[in-house]
Structure 1
Amino acid sequence: MWTLALRGGARVAVVAAEWCDAFGVVTRGRVQLELRDGEPGPVLGRDAGFWLRGTGVRALRNPGRRTARVRIVTPRAVTCQSTHSVRQLPNDGANDMNSMNDTGVVAGPASGQTSRTHRLRRLAGTGFIATLAAMVATTLAAAFAQAVGVDFEIPDGGETIPLPGFAVVTGFFSVVGVVIAAALLRWSARPAERFVWTAVSLTAISLVPPLLSGANTATTTALLGLHLVPAAVMIPTLARSLRTRTD
């Protein structure tokens, strides 16, 4: 048994197998398989297992920034003879391979689906709690603004936005944020960074309608602040959850 450590962005080339029927498990971070034709293979997360066999995998990559680790387990002490070996390609000093024995090659995926489903469920649970918190925080902030004299008339002199309306809109867009986070966790190599960039951009865009609503200054200012309240709850919570899921 040995452990392969891949620093952020590192790539380890797989020439061929030295051991037969060995099995690998991702114990930290994420590892992407590079296929023989150069096409990117699946990204395997923590606890995903895969066989160390000659299954058309050319290399292992760490698509993230943090060190990923893969534990290699051999079911038997006798290894198969091979004229090939595993070599590690230079990657601007970013590669790092630590082993407890000289051996090994990484091959195709075996069981990443269960781990991925588990991560998505945990993210959904975190997102649900964060959504409720964002709805409560936004509604309370709107109630406080009304208490100090903000009328929330859109446009000025028009209809007043009811307090339940703030909760409904906040809940809807918070759920949209959770869906975006789940999609990035499923398909992006760097979900946390991508989510923060996307969420901040969407929050900035959402500040435009209050400025064009025709409301008075107090209402416009309050609406701008109420857009930032759920963002301050959802973005850090989901980003932290995404980082936890990919470590």
Structure 2
Amino acid sequence: MRTLALPGGARVEVVAAEWRHAFAVVTRGRVQLELRDGRPGPVLGRDAAFWLHGTGVRALRNPGRRTATVHIVTPGILEETMTSTDDTAVAVPAAARTRRFPRLAGTGLLATLAAMVLTTAAAALAGAAGADFEIPDGGETIPLPGFAVMTGLFSLVGVVIAAALLRWSPRPAVHFRWTAVTLTVLSFVPSALSGATTTTVLALIALHVVAAAVMIPALTRSLSS
């Protein structure tokens, strides 16, 4: 048995194949059925039992303000997870998660390209302002293309982390945000310990922030939708 929780105003798409053998009972609040043509259907109250296979219902909606819950008896087709930021348990079809991977990948690719462009531009401005980007240990100066390459590499690592959390985490958006912020802060350490000038260290840290400011919100929104 699975439990579907619908926060006030929430809507969950119905995938017909995943409800083929499912039988459900409203255990708290009210649940409204959304019909195939988008029109609002019947509103089911507490203890109302229903099944959706063959009915043409395309979504379940909570018309009230309080969380509604539905107990679903099914042979394991639905996968329980947590998708809201307030720890509300919501059952999401496994197939729905799978369909989100291409969208996450597309968002991640676009965000990565944007981060590469913005970081490289910011590095050029920092260089003009006096940051030499010379690393004392190697005696070499980081070239502008190097910023683009490193930004792209670590941004793609972020996309992979987001994809893994989408697959296995009960709250992918929340867990990704905290993970990404933590990794961003940790990325300041090598810059601070590099032995470069203060201007260069501050510029390197600022570039990490620029990339994070692009990637983290974009991937978090994609994981939340």
**Unaligned ranges ≥5, structure 1:** 9-26, 30-45, 61-67, 77-93, 99-103
Q: Is the 8 A contact 1:131 1:175 kept in 2?
A: yes
| Residue 229 to residue 105, structure 1, CA distance change in 2 (3 Å) | closer
C-alpha offsets along residues 52-90 of structure 1, whole Å, 9 cap, x if unaligned?
359xxxx99xxxxxxx999841549xxxxxxxxxxxxxx
- Distance in 2 between residues matched to 1:146 and 1:75, nearest whole Å: 64
CA distance in 2, matches of 1:153, 1:105: 61
Structure 2 counterpart of 1:224, from 202, 205, 211: 205
Q: 1:49 aligns with which of 18, 28, 31?
A: 18
Distance 1:171 1:70, change over 3 A: farther
Q: Which amino acid aligns with 1:120?
A: F
- What CA distance in whole angstroms lies between the structure 2 residues aligned with 1:127 and 1:194? 17
Q: Give the corresponding residue for 2:124.
A: 143
Partners of 2:125 and 2:221 in 1: CA distance: 29
- Deviation of 1:51 after TM superposition, in Å, equals 3.6
Bigger helix fraction: 2
Structure 2 residue aligned with 1:233: 214
The one of 52, 68, 83 equivalent to 1:96 is: 68
Return the alpha-carbon distance in structure 1 between the equivalents of residues 113 and 193 of structure 2.
28
Match of 1:108 in 2: 75
1:151 aligns to what SS in structure 2?
A: coil
The separation in 2 between residues aligned to 1:222 and 1:115, in whole angstroms, is 42
* Structure 2 letter corresponding to 1:50: W
Contact 1:134/1:170, CA 8 A, preserved across alignment? yes
> Amino acid of the residue matched to residue 177 of structure 1?
G
Contact 1:145/1:222 (<8 A) preserved: yes
Partners in 2 of 1:217 and 1:233 — Cα distance? 25
In the TM superposition, residue 117 of structure 1 has moved relative to its aligned partner by 2.7
Tell me which residue corresponds to 1:73.
Answer: 52
Unaligned runs of 5+ in 2: 35-50, 56-65, 79-92
TM-score (norm 2): 0.67
The corresponding residue for 1:88 is none
Task: Return the letter of the residue paired with 1:147.
Answer: A
Q: Which has the higher contact order (CA 8 A, sep 6+)?
A: 1
Counterpart secondary structure, 2:170: coil
Task: Kindly state the Cα deviation for residue 146 of structure 1 after the two structures are TM-superposed.
Answer: 1.0
Corresponding residue for residue 214 of structure 1: 195
Partner residue, 2:12: 28
SS at match of 1:49: helix
Residues 75, 210 of structure 1: alpha-carbon distance in 2 compared, 3 angstrom cutoff: closer
Letter in 2 for 1:135: M
